[in-house]
Amino acid sequence: MEFHEYPLLSYSDLMLTILTVASGDGASIADCLDHLRRTLDKAHEHPPVSAEEMRRRLETAKHFLLAARLLRPLAGERFHISERGRRVLADNPMGVDDTVLMQFPEFRALIGRSGEPAAHDDPRPQEYEEGYEAYQAGKMPADNPYEFDRIEHLAWENGWFGARDDLELERT
């Protein structure tokens, strides 16, 4: 079973579930699991996933949300949404994923401590840097020198858009 086949079980939806449930007086993973089951029932979705697997994925999502300080821990295994979490939830009502969490230095630090990427995760840093520099030089996405269906094309394009996003963040 692939989790992406069930949108309500994607990490962005699981994070949304946790933030929503944690908006009350406090929550636990068991509370989030109950909420998720009710949501799946309402959607008439019955994925072939064990409760333990759903719990494990919720725990992973909670770990990321705590790292980004969107949640704050309470006594025992309970947690509550933080003010930062409320803002993120309001700004991202359709779900929260790593692209949202990467705006927080605490989450980026967690990712940085995770170790070096594996060789199969090669993000083509040279092509990314070329795209980044191309944006700074005033070039447009259509100036991408790589064939459209190549990973190098995507890495260059990601670099171009990364530079644009960085500039927009500097302006705010």
> In order along the chain (172 residues), what is the average pLDDT of each group of 10 residues?
58 91 93 92 84 89 93 92 95 89 88 58 74 93 89 87 84 74
- Predicted confidence at residue 7, as pLDDT, reads 58
Residue whose C-alpha is closest to residue 54's, from 14, 16, 98? 14
- Predicted confidence at residue 119, as pLDDT, reads 42
Token representation of residue 84: 């930062």
pTM for the model: 0.63
**Domains of the chain and any CATH numbers:** 3-113 (1.10.10.10), 119-171 (no CATH)
CA-to-CA dists, residue 151 to 86, 124, 140, 160, angstroms: 37, 8, 18, 14
- Predicted confidence at residue 111, as pLDDT, reads 80
- Predicted confidence at residue 122, as pLDDT, reads 53
